[in-house]
């Protein structure tokens, strides 16, 4: 096993944890499964027991070669790619379950990839650094609640499944990990104004929303909403959705 620190490689070696992760997938949401960063295939071996429509995206060329030899049945579905530059439609994948032990160093980028391609991804089972899992599952009035919490929970129902101790990885990371399940939700909102409101509100989180959102220069009637007297951490995810819908009525 050769590790590249710059790729944030920590390999799970506990088969019971691997089985538990794979068993967290519903398999009802999609016939196709895409695994990110399979490495030496500890999840792959159990994924293949239930689904042959499996696609592997691996950035490290040596593991691509290893996986093609180990799992010849899916060798044509194993790709040497940077997942962040991967486009599902280029592979004729329009609906798939996403799974992986996600690298700590690109966690946020992976989450924004999921949001970008949410119409393709009805379900995701991911292992993240515990701190990230806490953030994306956090509710308002909690210290972990932030921009990422609101964005992810607006488009996905997110469930914190279980914590994973650092002793089950090679090499052993300094932090714990956690596995979460995401199931896509449908919210009919103006995406552009939603992102503007959320990002701006958390950028100036010490201010009341009336003041922080002034920079957006929306119609004056928008700023009469009493909810804008609150600070950002006081707003629930649903409050942000309602505020976005309200703002859409006052766009100049």
**Residue positions forming the annotated binding site for S-adenosyl-L-methionine:** 12, 37, 58, 101
Task: Measure the CA–CA gap between 58 and 61, rounded to whole angstroms.
Answer: 7
184 SS3 class: strand
Q: Are 51 and 29 in contact (CB under 8 A)?
A: no
Instruction: Pick out the residues of the known binding site.
Output: 12, 37, 58, 101
| Burial state string for 166-194 with b = 16 or more CB within 10 A and e = fewer than 16 | eebbeeeeeeebbbbbbebeeeebeeebb
Helix/strand/coil (H, E, C) string of 55-119? Answer: EEEECCHHHHHHHHHHCHHHHHHEEECCHHHCCHHHHCCCCEEEEEECCHHHHHHHHHHHHHCCC
Task: Tell me how many degrees the CA angle 153-159-164 measures, rounded to the nearest 5.
Answer: 125
The answer to whether 41 and 71 are in contact (CB under 8 A) is: yes
Residues 6+ apart with CB under 8 A from 106: 8, 84
CB 38 within 8 A of CB 65: no
Q: Whose CA is closest to 74, among 123, 41, 120? A: 41
């Amino acid at each position: 096993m050769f590790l590249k620190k710059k790729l944030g490689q920590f390999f799970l070696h506990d088969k019971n944890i691997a089985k538990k992760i794979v068993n967290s997938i519903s398999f009802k949401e999609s016939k196709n499964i895409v695994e990110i960063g399979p490495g030496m295939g500890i999840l792959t071996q159990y994924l293949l027991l239930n689904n042959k429509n499996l696609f592997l995206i691996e950035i490290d060329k040596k593991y691509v070669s290893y996986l093609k030899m180990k799992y010849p049945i899916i060798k044509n579905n194993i790709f040497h790619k940077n997942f962040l530059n991967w486009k599902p439609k280029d592979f004729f994948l329009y609906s798939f379950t996403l799974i992986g032990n996600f690298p700590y160093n690109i966690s946020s980028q992976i989450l924004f990839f999921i949001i970008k391609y949410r119409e393709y991804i009805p379900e995701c089972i991911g292992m993240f650094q515990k701190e990230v899992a806490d953030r994306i599952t956090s509710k308002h009035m909690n210290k972990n609640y932030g921009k990422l919490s609101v964005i992810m929970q607006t488009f996905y129902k997110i469930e914190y499944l279980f914590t994973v101790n650092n002793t089950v990885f090679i090499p052993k990371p300094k932090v714990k990990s956690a596995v979460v399940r995401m199931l896509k939700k449908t919210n009919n909102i103006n995406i552009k104004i939603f992102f503007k409101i959320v990002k701006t509100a958390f950028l100036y989180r010490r201010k009341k929303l009336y003041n922080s959102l002034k920079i957006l220069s929306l119609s004056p009637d928008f700023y009469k909403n009493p909810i804008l007297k609150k600070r950002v951490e006081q707003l629930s995810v649903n409050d942000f959705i309602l505020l976005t819908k309200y703002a859409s009525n006052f766009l100049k």
